[in-house]
């Protein structure tokens, strides 16, 4: 990361009070105008334009229509791993012990394996030749494992790499982890002509409240990318921790990020940056990816947040768009520590229960959206006392769902997230059907 110190000379002079006041007012007006005109991550609605949710059967390969896979040793950076695509028996790969597969629980697995001969195998995949993107919001929800020599990454390369080479094509490392960061910290970095390798421009992020890359929860790693600006974030896209623009690159160098890029996921082992693995490095070790999603800015799109069974709470509207069910509130303390981007606590204290549905209108027919369902059990205290099914636009998304079991206890928040498509009338319909006792929901978000 570059740090620049700005220094200006000063001269002493006396000016009339009226002129000083006028200058102050003009300065404040210009400052306010710059704040209003500056791009802000939190002032944007989004339209989902592409995603892979990795919902294939256990052991299946990711879609070849979306991903290409690398075979062989990557000699860059002194890395040790041999990359094995799905189904490969090219030594040292073994199709019976794959390095890239879906686990049947909605996750991609990129597995690092130390073979009996001592060779590390792993996986690298990208959307090159399949999907390319220029501007938008790109994010992946991932769970990592820390160990000596490990170097997982979610990143992007310019599609013109074949003609201009690296680093002129530009590289965006949305998230990297290496051992010297410790498990509490990750980084985001850009590389371009004149600011690459060890001279890349980046910043580290340390998770608050004792969070770690292996704390049992998935974390979301992403970038809001616009003309001449990248804003990198962790877990909450409205709160970027690192913003980089052409003013941050060395004088006389070229900004290399206003053209199409493709997405990469890989799990490297060894090399100069992470150092070598050792006897403590576990084999196998898995990088889990819940999803990769790409959104475009959408000024006409609307985001919906509903406090089920309750009133207006912060950005959540009072309960609406429902049919059936009853409501209640319970003023109990709610533990939201296990949730990324939780709703306000009051949302989890109100509930709609019974057999009921929501029909949320106003979307563009056929448009893609992310639905987040917020739950916290505030009545029952043990698992097995409340189970129910949930469907979205006729597709089952939760079967025999048990809030206590999913959250790990009563009075604890949990969130389930799904991608859906608005129907021909522009509606998103969410149906809740009781299996034992009553179905229940605390809050709904549609993005």
The per-residue DSSP string of 257-283 comes to: -SS-EEEEEEEEE-STTT----TTS-S
CB-based contacts of 53-58 (< 8 A; 24+ apart in sequence)? 53/106, 53/290, 53/291, 53/419, 54/102, 54/106, 54/107, 54/108, 54/289, 54/290, 54/291, 55/102, 55/106, 56/102, 56/104, 57/102, 57/104, 58/102, 58/103, 58/104, 58/105
Q: Please tell me the distance from the alpha carbon of residue 112 to that of residue 120, in angstroms, as a whole number.
A: 7
> 139, 171, 417, 445: which one is catalytic?
171
Asked if residue 230 lies in contact with residue 155, where contact means CB atoms within 8 angstroms, the answer is: no
Q: Please tell me the distance from the alpha carbon of residue 377 to that of residue 386, in angstroms, as a whole number.
A: 9
* Six-digit token string for 46: 């989004």
DSSP letter for 343, please: P
Asked if residue 112 lies in contact with residue 249, where contact means CB atoms within 8 angstroms, the answer is: no
- Does residue 81 have an active-site annotation? no
Q: Please tell me the distance from the alpha carbon of residue 61 to that of residue 69, in angstroms, as a whole number.
A: 11
Calculate the CA dihedral of residues 226, 37, 446, 131 and round it to 10 degrees.
-10
Which residue blocks in 77-222 are alpha helix, DSSP H? 161-164
* Six-digit token string for 244: 């980089």
Which residue blocks in 244-332 are alpha helix, DSSP H? none
- Does residue 171 have an active-site annotation? yes
3-class SS of residue 196: coil
Q: Please tell me the distance from the alpha carbon of residue 70 to that of residue 294, in angstroms, as a whole number.
A: 22
Cα–chain center distance at 224: 11
The CA-atom distances, in angstroms, between 181 and each of 64, 178, 301 are 34, 6, 39
Backbone angles phi, psi at 380, to 5 degrees: -80, 155
Q: Which residues pair with 120 in a beta bridge?
A: 114
> 176, 417, 445, 447: which one is catalytic?
176
Q: Any idea which residues carry the catalytic annotation?
A: 171, 176
């Amino acid at each position: 990361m570059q740090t620049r110190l700005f220094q200006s000379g000063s001269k002493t002079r006396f000016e009339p009070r009226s002129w000083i006041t006028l200058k102050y007012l003009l300065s404040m007006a210009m400052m306010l105008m710059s704040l209003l005109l500056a791009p802000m991550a939190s002032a944007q609605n989004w339209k989902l334009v592409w995603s892979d949710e990795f919902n294939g059967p256990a052991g299946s390969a990711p879609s070849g229509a979306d991903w290409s896979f690398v075979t062989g040793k990557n000699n860059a950076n002194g890395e040790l791993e041999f990359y094995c695509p799905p189904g490969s028996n090219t030594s040292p790969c073994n199709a019976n012990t794959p390095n890239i597969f879906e686990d049947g629980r909605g996750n991609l697995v990129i597995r690092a394996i130390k073979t009996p001969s001592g060779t590390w195998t792993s996986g690298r995949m990208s959307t090159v030749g399949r999907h390319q993107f220029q501007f938008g919001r790109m994010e992946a929800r991932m769970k990592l494992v820390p160990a000596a020599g490990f170097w997982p990454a979610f990143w992007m390369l310019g599609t013109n790499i074949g003609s201009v080479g690296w680093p002129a094509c530009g590289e965006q490392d949305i998230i990297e982890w290496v051992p010297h960061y410790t498990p509490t910290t990750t980084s985001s970095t850009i590389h371009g002509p004149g600011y690459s390798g060890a001279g890349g421009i980046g910043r580290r992020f340390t998770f608050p409240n004792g969070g770690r890359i292996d704390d049992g929860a998935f974390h979301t790693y992403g970038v809001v990318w616009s003309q001449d600006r990248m804003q990198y974030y962790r877990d909450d896209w409205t709160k970027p921790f690192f913003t980089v623009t052409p003013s941050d690159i060395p004088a006389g160098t070229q900004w290399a990020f206003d053209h199409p890029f493709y997405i990469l996921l890989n799990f490297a082992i060894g090399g100069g940056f992470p150092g070598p693995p050792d006897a403590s490095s576990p084999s196998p070790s898995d990088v889990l990816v819940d999803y990769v999603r790409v959104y475009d800015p959408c000024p006409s799109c609307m985001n919906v947040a509903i406090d089920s069974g309750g009133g207006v709470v912060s950005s959540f509207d009072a309960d609406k768009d429902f049919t059936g069910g009853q409501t209640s509130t319970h003023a109990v303390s709610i533990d939201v520590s296990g949730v990324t981007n939780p709703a306000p606590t009051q949302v989890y204290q109100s509930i709609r229960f019974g057999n009921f549905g929501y029909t949320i209108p106003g979307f563009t027919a056929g448009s893609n959206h992310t639905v987040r369902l917020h739950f916290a059990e505030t009545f029952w205290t043990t698992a097995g006392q409340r189970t129910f099914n949930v469907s979205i636009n006729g597709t089952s998304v939760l079967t025999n769902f048990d809030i206590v079991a999913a959250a790990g206890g009563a009075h604890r928040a949990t969130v389930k997230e799904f991608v859906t498509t608005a129907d021909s009338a522009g509606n998103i319909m969410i149906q809740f059907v009781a299996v034992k006792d009553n179905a229940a929901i605390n809050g709904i978000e549609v993005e």
